[in-house]
Chain A
Amino acid sequence: MAQLIEAVLYFGIIVSSSVVLFTRYALVGALALAVNTSLIGFLLIKKDLLFIGLGQIAVYAGGIIVFILFTITMLGLKAEIKKPITEIFVGFLIFGTTFLFSYLALPDLDFVDRGVSVVEIGKKFLNDLFIHVITVAILLNSVLVSYILLISDSRE
């Protein structure tokens, strides 16, 4: 069962990153990226890396990607025009070579699986990590406030 969940998570990550690569709509791309980020966060939580996993979902997917979505909806970006076949070919060439080189260059990466239950996540979150997550949230709030101030300044 655990392996099945892991396989589904990996599959979801690959599918959502492909959607970002192939879509012509900015909004769909941003939504797929939010899904991608959240799935990575779930994977990290499942592998017992609770703080980075929670931060990934709460701060990165919940904060930064929402900023991007907000900007895209505010600017009202339209779909990109269809590309000529040569450009698509060059894109695939870039994708293929980068994939090959990064796969060959990366060292053996594997998680040391310790396994974690939902109850443990709750306990750990409330007892140990609560103050840290709150700290990140406060820091992010200050960034958000400065962002809004900057936008309102530019409108005047």
Chain B
Amino acid sequence: MVKFVVAFLISSGLGVVFLKKNPLLMLLGLELCLNGVILAIAARYSQSNFEDDALIIAGILFLFCIAVIETVILATLQLKLKHNSL
């Protein structure tokens, strides 16, 4: 079931990216893909014997990287859309 959901999330995310014209909606598609990847990584983590601390540090870094990257993308999009240069 997890495999099916991950495949569905990734494919619908890519479908959104290819179908929508608006860059903000394309970003939503990328988020869907990312959700699928997170679910897949979590399922793999739960099967392995990683140390808890290493997992938590990896989680913090991962979430922080996502936050920074998304913010930069959003700020750029917002500036470009405001000036109608997209």
Contacts and interface: CB of A to CB of B under 8 A. Distances in A.
Interface of A: 10, 13-14, 17-18, 20-21, 26, 29-30, 33, 36-37, 40, 43-44, 47-49, 51-52, 55-56, 59-60, 63-65, 67-68, 71-72, 74-75, 77, 80, 83, 87-88, 90-92, 94-96, 98-99, 102-103, 106, 108-112, 129, 132, 135-136, 139-140, 143-144, 146-147, 150-151, 154
Contacts, number: 179
Candidate in A68, A88, A90 with the most chain B CB atoms within 10 angstroms: A68
Given A33-B32, A36-B32, A110-B43, A21 B12 contact: yes
Nearest to B78: A71
A68 B74 contact: yes
Q: Summarize A's interface: helix, strand, loop or mixed.
A: helix
Given A17-B9, A75-B24, A110-B47, 7 more contacts: A13-B5, A17-B32, A20-B29, A26-B28, A43-B39, A67-B74, A147-B74
A63 B67 contact: yes
B28 A30 contact: yes
Contact of A55 (B14, B19, B28, B59): B59
A88 B47 CA distance: 39
Interface string B7-28: 1111111111011111011011
Contacts of A140: 64, 67
B46 to A, nearest CB: 5
Given A75-B82, A143-B68, A143-B71, A13 B12 contact: no
Contacts of A65: 31
Interface residues of B, number: 56
Contacts of A87: 19
A40 B39 contact: yes
Contacts of A74: 78
Interface in B41-55: 42-47, 55
A16 B46 CA distance: 25
A80 B21 contact: yes
A68 B59 contact: no
Given A59-B67, A87-B19, A95 B11 contact: yes
A14 B7 CA distance: 11
B35 A37 contact: yes
